[in-house]
Structure 1
Amino acid sequence: MQNVTVLGIGLGKRSFHQRGQDKSGNAAFRWKVSRQQLIEFLSNFHSCTVVMEACAGAHFMARKLATFGQQIKLISPQFARPFVKSNKNDFVDAEAICEAASRPSMRFVTPKMKSQQTLSALHRVRDSLIRDRVCTTNQMHAFLLEFGISLPIGIAVVRRLPAVLAEHELPPRLVAILERLHSHFKYLEQQIAELDKEIANQVADDDLGKRLLTIPGVGPITASVLTAEMGDGKQYARSRDFAASIGIVPRQYSTGGRANLLGISKRSDKNLRRLLVQCARVYMQRLDKKSGPLATWTRQMLTRRHSNVVACALANKLARIAWAIAARKASFNAEAAAMPA
């Protein structure tokens, strides 16, 4: 087994399928092991390239195996899938991972640190609570509409639901249901407010987070998500690579030397892309109070393009600025003459 140069691992919850191959691509072994057996095996195995799909548990396993001196590479599942031959099984997946990793032009995912994963989990819980709040609000609106009570759109009126119930004569059981939903709504609002405060405090204590807040239109939520997803930005060679990684650049369908650019690609993290577009719209709403090259560029774009197109283009600029701030350890300067390349 000393000739093994690449080890592909198909991750699972309890069982892991691994395939070792030499530099010629010939299989040296393929085993099914448990989590503990995998860790014990690689702790005593010679240093080689260990490749896994970037899926659930991959970042933890990458950090763990890196402590044993292994060279860890995470590959996006969509890039490994084309190398699956014929029928699919776990060992075939491990073989496809090895095959994909051996390509010199393959792109890999940078393993996340514990702090980044924790921050991502915090944002996912917040998003889940917000979705639950929307569902609860919609239920209250729908139940009241069934009895002829049409409330204005939004959650502001839901906060004063007891006053609305006092103004109308409704069945006691329905009132009890609505009061229960209202109590759940207040609980969700409290939890969301606490998470917002926690996120704001974390950003205030983080050096990168504070520098990202200097970007116009960017608030604590967006700065926190950028910190969790981008890190120090060293995994990207340039700002355009980061913008492309979050799908905020045009899709290309070119052939025969003729360039054909379509709408944005919408790849990767849709939450971060949505937040950056919202930041761009906030900046555009306050454009009359802004100055500097970015404001001038935005005004010129608005004279030629629809505001939705400008919002996406400006979001691209904000993403590139965020990368420059992280990679160069700088802050945003509105009067700077040069934009990041």
Structure 2
Amino acid sequence: MSACTTVAVDLAKRVFQLAGEDAQGQVVFEQRIKSREAFQAFLGALPAGVMVLMETGPGAQAWARLLQAQGVRVRILPAQRVAEHRSGAKNDRNDTLAILRAGRDSSIAAVPVKSAAALAMQALHRARQGYVRRRTAMGNQMRGLLLEHGIALAQGEAAIARGVPRVLEDATQPLPDMLRELLDELLGEWLQLGARIDVLTGRLETHARTDETAKRLMTVRGVGPIIATALLAKQTEPERFANARQFAAYFGVVPDQHSSGQKVQLGRMSKRGDAYLRSLMIQGAHAVLRQLQPDTEQPDDRRLQRWLQRLGRKGAAVRLANRNLRILWVLLQSEQTYRRQPNLDQEAAMSH
């Protein structure tokens, strides 16, 4: 260990694979630790100046905070980028060596080490997202079961909330009693999930109203409490991006490239990065587009109408999401609030 400048750790619940390299990049240390207590003792005995590398996964944030509290440098690398550096079969040893190689790749940006408060906020979002997915799946299941008996319901929460009870109360509908009983149970669970979503949404809205940064982010059209708190929980450290375009590219809201030589070919949205936040940004953009008035004289609205005519609704939503992310990059690094008709200095800053 005395010769090690970098130590890579492949994390698990109770088994930890370690590998260390010297300043020349040669692996000079390997060890396998089989208890959390022994691993914590190992971390506590690390010499000063050692860099610890680990990949994203359960427990990475907690161990990283522990190391930072000890004054040890630590980097959390994206698991998908570490996998690109793996050689041979997937096992703990090869994973650890892949982390070492990925740590030497200067193009890989480390995942920020989050505070406990940010992780708690992230937990709210993940629980809410799980409820939304289950509720959507359950609504589609009820619609599918009814369609098997010749009863078609429209998509959307309102159609299910009105349509399913009406069908269950209509004795003329050709539904077996067994299916009526099942649909009644599914509807009850669907409504209960909706109530849980509303509770978590209320908590996020309360936090957004009391957080000064969230309030500034919500001055951007298409950014509400859900997006603002999700972005804050991610702790993206916007200063590490050279410009606003790189920030938007971090969330995958830029064209994918299929270029070679002098031929530059741009494709569809790359969809790299955080799928949850990207989805929220595009949903927020769609909400803005739905509220556009055809006779508006606002410069922003007229720009959006030109995008709609040229790109279609989905293309315009992606472009608006990209623009909003660029604006958010500026707001996260300053005390400004967004104004729809900014002064020339602010407009120039947001155009980069």
TM-score, length-normalised on structure 2?
0.89
| Counterpart for residue 25 of structure 1 | 25
CA offsets per residue over residues 67-117 of structure 1, 9 Å max, x none? 111111111223222332333321222122112212344422222222222
Matches within 5 A, 1:252-291: 252-288=257-293, 289=296, 291=298
- C-alpha spacing 1:155/1:84, structure 2 compared with 1 (3 Å): closer
- C-alpha spacing 1:101/1:317, structure 2 compared with 1 (3 Å): same
Contact 2:112 2:237 survives alignment (8 Å): no
**How far apart, in 2, do the equivalents of 1:177 and 1:302 lie?**
44
**How far apart, in 2, do the equivalents of 1:297 and 1:157 lie?**
34
| Counterpart for residue 243 of structure 1 | 248
The match for 2:329 among 303, 306, 323 is: 323
The farther-off stretch of 294-303 and 32-41 is 294-303
CA offsets per residue over residues 165-188 of structure 1, 9 Å max, x none? 222244433322222122112211
The farther-off stretch of 249-258 and 229-238 is 229-238
**How far apart, in 2, do the equivalents of 1:183 and 1:105 lie?**
50
Contact 1:75 1:108 survives alignment (8 Å): yes
CA offsets per residue over residues 210-247 of structure 1, 9 Å max, x none? 11110012222122222222455233332222111110
- Alpha-carbon shift at residue 159 of structure 1 (Å): 2.4
- Alpha-carbon shift at residue 57 of structure 1 (Å): 1.7
CA offsets per residue over residues 279-315 of structure 1, 9 Å max, x none? 22222333445735x4454344445433432221211
Query: Residue 306 of structure 1: SS of its match in structure 2?
Result: helix
Contact 2:112 2:236 survives alignment (8 Å): no
Misfit runs of 4+, over 6 Å: none
Aligned length: 340
Matches within 5 A, 1:46-57: 46-47=47-48, 48-57=50-59
Identity within the alignment, %: 32
Matches within 5 A, 1:1-341: 1-33=1-33, 34-47=35-48, 48-160=50-162, 161-169=164-172, 170-288=175-293, 289=296, 291-292=298-299, 294-295=300-301, 297-302=303-308, 304-336=310-342, 337=344, 338=347, 339-341=350-352
**How far apart, in 1, do the equivalents of 2:166 and 2:258 lie?**
57
Contact 2:259 2:266 survives alignment (8 Å): yes
**How far apart, in 1, do the equivalents of 2:183 and 2:252 lie?**
41
Code of the aligned partner of 2:72: Q
Code of the aligned partner of 1:202: H
**How far apart, in 2, do the equivalents of 1:146 and 1:299 lie?**
41
**How far apart, in 2, do the equivalents of 1:153 and 1:83 lie?**
44
**How far apart, in 2, do the equivalents of 1:189 and 1:308 lie?**
27
- C-alpha spacing 1:174/1:306, structure 2 compared with 1 (3 Å): closer
Code of the aligned partner of 1:328: S
Code of the aligned partner of 1:150: A
**How far apart, in 2, do the equivalents of 1:175 and 1:301 lie?**
47
- Alpha-carbon shift at residue 322 of structure 1 (Å): 1.1
**How far apart, in 1, do the equivalents of 2:123 and 2:43 lie?**
28
Query: Residue 238 of structure 2: SS of its match in structure 1?
Result: coil
- Alpha-carbon shift at residue 31 of structure 1 (Å): 0.8
- C-alpha spacing 1:88/1:140, structure 2 compared with 1 (3 Å): closer
**How far apart, in 2, do the equivalents of 1:139 and 1:76 lie?**
35
**How far apart, in 1, do the equivalents of 2:202 and 2:158 lie?**
20
**How far apart, in 2, do the equivalents of 1:265 and 1:163 lie?**
43
- C-alpha spacing 1:175/1:89, structure 2 compared with 1 (3 Å): closer
**How far apart, in 1, do the equivalents of 2:108 and 2:198 lie?**
42
Contact 1:217 1:283 survives alignment (8 Å): yes
- Alpha-carbon shift at residue 141 of structure 1 (Å): 2.5
Code of the aligned partner of 2:12: G
Contact 1:325 1:331 survives alignment (8 Å): yes
Contact 1:291 1:335 survives alignment (8 Å): no
- Alpha-carbon shift at residue 334 of structure 1 (Å): 0.8
**How far apart, in 1, do the equivalents of 2:263 and 2:145 lie?**
56
